[in-house]
Chain A
Amino acid sequence: MSLERLNWKGRLTCFCGIVWREALRFAKQRERFLSALVRPLVWLFLFAAGMRTVQGFPPDPPYQTWISYEIYVAPGLCAMIQLFNGLQSSLSMVYDRETGAMRTLLVSPYPRWFLLSSKLMAGVAVSVVQVYAFLLIAYFWEIEPPLIGYLLVLPALILSGMMLGALGLFLSSAIKQLENFAGVMNFVIFPMFFASTALYPLWRVEENSPYVADILRYNPFTYCVELIRFALYAQVNWTALAVVAGTTVLFLGAAIYAYDPSKGMIGRKR
């Protein structure tokens, strides 16, 4: 092989190949796509039905009018799609590691951080497609953010997708066995989702229990939700942006560290 392929053009080819494979696998797993779509829609439906009695919430940024409960939870459900997706791709990475696909990836001559980040971005691309499909259906459910919001939410989705994907990547290096994914669901997905602002505004929680409100404040997932919520209504939540960006760097750094060959995380399990 000629060593010229180690240049940036080669890297781009490599990146595209990783995204292509992820898309191909995703296209084959139609159930995964459907369940990723149906799950938030069911929730939306349940909340809409169950919370009909709730008046909705008074104006509070980024909303300028009274909003229904469905409108409030929609951004949280977008983030939920990404949370599931990020951890699902971590599951597939544990699986990859056991089937040898991880070895295939890591004998590529490009740097390991580049390979892992590419893999992460490929997962993010998939989750973004899922979120847009959800938003499209939700539109007919009278969740109608401004049109520009659909464009502005894209960078927010990419960033929050990266944060949740990096979390998944880090967990995948730490999870020793596939079965433990059930544990991840119980100990990561559900607590992160319920102890966030996905289902109830912070001020509402504060009224009832300042202590619980603090938990919400320390949950990075809260900031994914808020970043998406504000972007969808054409505003920037700078705190959320900073926290999500910082947390992404932290998780990604931890994941790359965990996949470092001298730590021997890969292949420790046989």
Chain B
Amino acid sequence: MACSKCLGITGVSHTFGKTKALQDVSLDVAEGRFVALLGVNGAGKTTLFSLITRLYDNISGSIEVCGHDVRREAGPALAQLGVVFQSRSLDMSLTVRQNIRYHGALHGIGRREALKRGDKALERVGLLDRADAKVATLSGGQIRRAEIARALLHDPKLLLLDEATVGLDVQSRRDVVSTVRNLVTNQNVGVLWATHLFDEVEPADDVVVLHKGSVLAKGLASDIAGGRTLSDAFLLLTGVSETALAS
């Protein structure tokens, strides 16, 4: 089933008590596009992901996954969605395969089918040889890739990744980024990639700059950069100092 617009967010706001975590956020992710959600810590990226995955109800505005409103048609919306959360969410005491089988069941995929798909997904992220290892014995990068394999199991049209490379060494970071980019090219999934690291963004990507809960700029990375480096453009937009960025 194709859907040209994987994710449509219109006018979404969210508050935690007095903190305005998101203010009138709108953005789209089209099929086969890599969209970088760029923002420093505290910008509201994780909050937005929690709203898309319906961990909180979006108080105002609308969020649609493949045309299904996450509030009114939560089932069909979540069925098209694969997520890699910022915090690790695999069961450490189980093996990679067991985790995958559990996730398959949560999406209504039976044991045999889940294991078959799981092997394919693990192969795609280059982790098939570790399939029967306990998650606790994997490295940080391997865990991330296992989480990506898990997120792909039910063939989602939209993949959300929240700071997927944080805490990884350079090589693992590169592996994770290229794994996801391959998915965009080969499987035509739409990706929303939340990050505060500019070097993960390529000129042809779509970029959404989120700062203090508001979208400051949207467009092609090369357009936003406008001849400067992306990080310079970002600093200009947000007024964040370079030292604050590094933290």
Contacts and interface: CB of A to CB of B under 8 A. Distances in A.
Contacts, number: 115
Interface of B: 1, 50, 53-57, 59, 74-81, 83, 85, 87-89, 91-94, 98, 101-110, 154-156
A13 B83 contact: no
Nearest to B93: A28
Given A20-B105, A267-B55, A109 B89 contact: no
A6 interface: yes
B110 A13 contact: yes
Interface residues of B, dominant DSSP: loop
Nearest to B110: A13
Contacts of A262: 56-57, 59
B53 A109 contact: no
Interface string A233-270: 00000000000000000000000000011101011000
11 contacts: A6-B75, A16-B105, A17-B101, A28-B93, A103-B53, A103-B83, A103-B89, A107-B83, A110-B108, A115-B106, A261-B56
B121 to A, nearest CB: 13
A258 to B, nearest CB: 14
A203 B53 CA distance: 54
B104 to A, nearest CB: 7
A17 B85 contact: no
A1 B94 contact: no
Contacts of B154: 1, 5
A24 interface: yes
B55 A3 contact: no
Which of the listed residues A1, A5, A104, A108 has the most CB atoms from chain B within 10 Å of its own CB? A1
Interface string A7-34: 1011101101110110011001000000
Contact of A264 (B56, B75, B91): B56
A241 to B, nearest CB: 33
Contacts of A17: 101-102, 104-106
